[in-house]
Amino acid sequence: MTTDSVLNRRAMLSWLGAGTAAAALAACGTSAEAKSYPVQFSDADWKKRLTGRQYHILRGRGTERPFSSALLKEHRKGTFVCAADGNPLFSSDTKYDSGTGWPSFWRPLSGAIGTSLDWETGTPRTEVHCSRCGGHLGHVFSDGPKPTGKRYCMNGDALAFRAG
């Protein structure tokens, strides 16, 4: 857990009061970091396996600059996979240009992702993480296209592309 997330939780606890806060935190669930995943490595091993940018996003829950990902312009048929463990996440058939500057999709592959409540900005958002390694991928919003109405706004550095 990052220092900022601890501070956000403390601020929320003092704002809500102890009794209400306990119920709210229980309803929110835990972060992806607190769960156990099939693919696990020590922090030192993750740092060896990933580039600095990938580590910042996938393990540190960071965000890349908008319009900085080469995957924005990736339009071939294929699968977008987790850059940390190769887990297939999104079909190219569900990718679309959201205009936000991050690769966006309207539906993940079945069982590919997990979600948790993210309070990092002080406003609740739904964080998306890899179901196999727990790596932070981005967030999902309810302003996407049909048929789901969802916008899975992913960090390109958290993804790799496999053509085919």
H and E: helices and strands count for the chain:
4, 9
Is the pLDDT reported for residue 155 higher than 60?
yes
| DSSP, res 48 | H
Q: Is position 130 annotated as part of the catalytic site?
A: no
List the domain boundaries for the chain: 1-29, 31-163
State pLDDT tens for residues 79-108: 999 999 999 999 999 999 999 999 999 999
Pick 142 or 123 by higher pLDDT: 142
Q: For the whole prediction, is pTM greater than 0.85? A: no
Least Cα distance to 80 among 22, 137, 6, 5 occurs for 137
Mean pLDDT of the region 120-146: 95
**Active-site pick, 82, 130, 133, 153:** 153
Domain 31-163 in CATH 3.40.50.620 = no
Is the pLDDT reported for residue 25 higher than 60?
no
